[in-house]
Structure 1
Amino acid sequence: MIMHSSSPNKLHEDQLAKLNELLSFAKNQNKFYQKKWGQIQLPLSSLQQLEEFPLTLKQELVEDQNNNGGYGSNHSFPVEEYTRYHQTSGTSGSPLKVLDTAESWAWWEDCWLEVYRSSGVTKKDRVFLAFSFGPFIGFWAAFEAAKKNRSLVITGGSQSTKERLYCMLENNATVLLCTPSYALHLAEVAKDLGIDLQNSTITKVITAGEPGGSVPSIRRQIETLWGATLFDHVGMTEMGAYGYSCTEQNGIHINEAEFIAEVLDQDTLKPVANGEKGELVLTNLGRFGYPLIRYRTADVVLKSDEVCACGNPYKFFPGGVLGRADDMVVIRGINIYPSSIEAIVREFAAVKEFRVVYFTENGMDQIKVQIESAADIIAELSTLLRDRVGLRIAVERVEADSLPRFTMKSKRVLDERIKRG
């Protein structure tokens, strides 16, 4: 059972105290925020005053690193004080290089412990990490936190998909950690090998890296294939492990003990009302070596004052991360999020893999969905896409195994549009 602050007032008091400590530190030690803020008055008397601070953008951090010797000025200590190096995946632009001190890395581990506790992972579990352990932060903190949780940790490392399947089965692993895409790919390979995953020892799958684990159609497909319960986790290399799902499996909790969350309109940058979608803006409270104050995550969430039935009082976003603001495109006047397309496609168990293709025809931007499917579901899927998205989307059936597979973050969008101007 996770222990949280006993009341909203106590939680906000704790957040304000941590926030003032971090802001005071950054004002004195962090050159990036010293330059960004100018003269600020501290301490803050309320959390609402945080809204007066400027937002932090990823592009700012990238430019800062380009202009300030590789690691940038947002690292609060001399380089020799840091013990961990990671970088973002670079799927949405230039990768960020992020360093952590021993203290900041311990904070990361504690954030991941909250994920395990919410998923019911204990020292009796055997945790298998299907992750390559390169410079992308991925499940590095999950590995360390599993050790701190006193679970048996089994790493997939540089193994092939086939080797990982046999390793987790031979060692009676009970928890699998991977991306949603890779959970589906593992199940596809297991079927080809004649492995019965539904009767394996895996009882829990914890996903990260993509919006998908909180999407009902994707979650149901993974749970059916694995005969296990799926729990989602959300985090960012530059921000930290900020959220997780629970036994109710219908959204994401923000770890408010360590993060302050805002939901802003992407155009006005003002708070949205309950029931409205907006961009998630986060402040991490315990990462002094690499603080981020009011960081625009580009994650789209639904703001809600709903209290989850699991009993966790922390801020809750129904449906989890709904998509990425920087992934959205406008096709014939309709806002398209690839994650919304995936949620529909994954309702069809016959689809092994898919890809969204944007292209230009007769001077107009168009969209089609390519699928690898054992059955002819083109008409049915086309109808569902039109009804749900509000747009006619062509569906094209392609040869088996012709689309790429992914072990980490998937890239299921091919943009072939003609660039204008």
Structure 2
Amino acid sequence: MRLYTQKATESPYWNEYMETMPREKLDQLHLRRLQRLIKYAYENIPMYQELYDKAHVKPEDIKMLDDYVEKIPSIDKPDILRYQAANPPFGGSIVRDSDEYLTFFFQTSGTTGTPMKEIGYYRDMLSTGWVFKWWAHGIRPADIFYFAFPFGTFMAFWCAYYDAVAMGAQVITSGGMTTEQRVRQILELKPTVLVATPTYAMRIAEMAREMGVDIAHSSIKYITSAGEAGYVLPTVRDAVEKAWGAKALDLYGISDLWGSTSWHCPVHPDRLHLTETIAYPLVLDKEGKLVPDGGIGEWTLTNYSTVMPLIKYRTHDTVEWHKETCECGRTWTWLRGGVLGRTDQMVTIKGTNVFPTAIQGIIGGIDGLTENLEIHILTGEGGDEIDIKVEAAPDVPAEKYEVLKKHLRGELQFRIGVKMKVDLLLPKTLPRYEVKAKRVFDHRKRK
């Protein structure tokens, strides 16, 4: 007995009508949804009523998308934290009298500061966009998902878990297991899809090698990841695909926004498509003005969630956006190269703007270096400085370390244009992570 018709199973689209909707019609749909959402938020969420009154804007002022861009004030994580702190745990950041709709509680990972509390309705969890990616790349209900994830209060792969269940697939959880136990379970249960961060996927492969297991010949056909700079970067994608002998699929989600996912294009591996059924995108410059199609700026999103919608939310992620139809047939907005950097982690060294993701990409392209690295941002006498710590590959002899370190320093200076301090470390020196790896450490003193 089949869950889906033959036609649906063979289609490259999970929802062809929405994924290929003409841009003009899609924008009209977004306008209607934004108008309803802004009115609802103004009438039911104290935070928005105060913010919009302060900005002298009313819901009825939003008659076209340009009004939304120009009149609605953007919000930031500190705005929400302030309302949550005033009346814990959620304060004026959620819909009034919504107790019966508070199904799932999470909080942000705290990677960039104080964790933000997230509360939502179960339907928000079932519409995060993972299935669109899986279906586009050939994953079907007959596949078996293995979740190498501890299932704590960080949203991460919770939404992927429920999307897999909603799709009709078998799911295997491994919360509480050691990495060695997970390797053994993968060999025993023969899942076809591994769900893990890129860092932890590599850690499992590393453990398998130590156990004498050739994980590239396991049952895993797909590695589906999120939470870090991932497989849209060729060096990261190539490393994971080589280690596992499987196809690596990227997804860029933002837990603050209940996912609001952008996922790997099946035709262009350097593109991520935003799931426009659940979010509306803008890219803004430093002055908050709209960046033209094809330009680079800050990814700013509105999510259509039930209890805690975030309207015109600044992500601090720098992206290059495109709204023209992709060769895969989708009309949804796509990002070239995924997240290019973060506005709050940019370092200016002697007039040159440096993003940590650019450093990671260079390191990943040098033989003899591994993906295990740390980037430390400091304040020196002459301004910002960067110190890099990176592990050598296990097969690199100690006498080659100095040559390899010199080569990395030269590549960084040639390709980015500034000098950086480099420390080459022995294998297994740096910490290993199961969820989001902490790669960037910002030690600068804030004014």
**TM bracket (short chain):** over 0.9
Aligned to 1:105: 125
Q: Cα 1:192–1:271, aligned 2, differ >3 Å: closer, same or farther?
A: same
Distance 2:324 2:418 in 1: 31
- How many Å apart are 1:100 and its aligned residue? 0.8
- How many Å apart are 1:327 and its aligned residue? 1.8
8 Å contact 1:131–1:408 — kept in the other structure?
yes
Q: Does 1:21 align with 2:43?
A: no
| Post-superposition CA distance 1:189-221 (Å, at most 9, x none) | 222112112111111111101122211111111
Counterparts of 1:374-393 in structure 2, within 5 Å, are: 374=393, 375=396, 376=400, 377-393=404-420
| Post-superposition CA distance 1:233-284 (Å, at most 9, x none) | 111222122211121211110112221100111x211112344321000011
Q: Cα 1:291–1:351, aligned 2, differ >3 Å: closer, same or farther?
A: same
Structure 1: which amino acid aligns with 2:373? F
Aligned to 1:57: 76
- How many Å apart are 1:420 and its aligned residue? 8.1
Matched residue SS, 1:253: strand
Counterparts of 1:229-268 in structure 2, within 5 Å, are: 229-242=247-260, 243-247=262-266, 248-265=268-285, 267-268=286-287
Q: Does 1:399 align with 2:417?
A: no
Q: Cα 1:226–1:26, aligned 2, differ >3 Å: closer, same or farther?
A: same
Counterparts of 1:96-175 in structure 2, within 5 Å, are: 96-108=116-128, 111-175=129-193
Structure 2: which amino acid aligns with 1:123? P
8 Å contact 1:211–1:323 — kept in the other structure?
no
8 Å contact 2:125–2:258 — kept in the other structure?
no
Distance 2:47 2:311 in 1: 11
Structure 2: which amino acid aligns with 1:398? L
| Post-superposition CA distance 1:118-166 (Å, at most 9, x none) | 3322111111111110000011011111011111101121111111122
Aligned to 2:27: 12
Q: Which moved more, 1:33-42 or 1:166-175?
A: 33-42
Q: Which moved more, 1:290-299 or 1:183-192?
A: 183-192
Distance 1:197 1:362 in 2: 48
Distance 2:43 2:446 in 1: 46
* Root mean square deviation, CA, Å: 2.0
1:298 to 309, 312, 316: 316
Q: Does 1:90 align with 2:114?
A: no
Distance 2:217 2:36 in 1: 50
Structure 2: which amino acid aligns with 1:65? Q
Distance 1:420 1:343 in 2: 27
8 Å contact 2:323–2:332 — kept in the other structure?
no
Distance 1:222 1:321 in 2: 19
Aligned to 2:65: 47
Counterparts of 1:227-376 in structure 2, within 5 Å, are: 227-242=245-260, 243-247=262-266, 248-265=268-285, 267-285=286-304, 287-352=305-370, 353-359=372-378, 364-374=383-393, 375=396, 376=400
- How many Å apart are 1:351 and its aligned residue? 2.1
- How many Å apart are 1:226 and its aligned residue? 1.1
8 Å contact 2:241–2:247 — kept in the other structure?
yes
Counterparts of 1:167-186 in structure 2, within 5 Å, are: 167-186=185-204
8 Å contact 1:98–1:238 — kept in the other structure?
yes
Q: Cα 1:114–1:241, aligned 2, differ >3 Å: closer, same or farther?
A: farther
Distance 2:206 2:366 in 1: 15
- How many Å apart are 1:316 and its aligned residue? 0.9
Scaled by the length of structure 2, what TM-score is found?
Answer: 0.88
Q: Cα 1:102–1:395, aligned 2, differ >3 Å: closer, same or farther?
A: closer
Distance 1:355 1:308 in 2: 35
- How many Å apart are 1:46 and its aligned residue? 1.9
Aligned to 1:35: 50
Scaled by the length of structure 1, what TM-score is found?
Answer: 0.93
| Post-superposition CA distance 1:31-64 (Å, at most 9, x none) | 1111111250427332222111000111000111
- How many Å apart are 1:107 and its aligned residue? 3.4
Q: Cα 1:388–1:9, aligned 2, differ >3 Å: closer, same or farther?
A: same
- How many Å apart are 1:339 and its aligned residue? 1.4
8 Å contact 2:200–2:435 — kept in the other structure?
yes
Distance 2:62 2:292 in 1: 24
- How many Å apart are 1:224 and its aligned residue? 1.1
Distance 2:40 2:392 in 1: 55
Q: Cα 1:49–1:361, aligned 2, differ >3 Å: closer, same or farther?
A: closer
8 Å contact 2:321–2:333 — kept in the other structure?
no
Percent same amino acid at aligned positions? 32
Structure 1 unmatched runs, 5+: none
Q: Cα 1:412–1:35, aligned 2, differ >3 Å: closer, same or farther?
A: same
- How many Å apart are 1:336 and its aligned residue? 2.1
Distance 2:88 2:28 in 1: 38
- How many Å apart are 1:187 and its aligned residue? 1.7
8 Å contact 1:24–1:43 — kept in the other structure?
no
1:70 to 82, 89, 99: 89
Structure 2 unmatched runs, 5+: 1-11
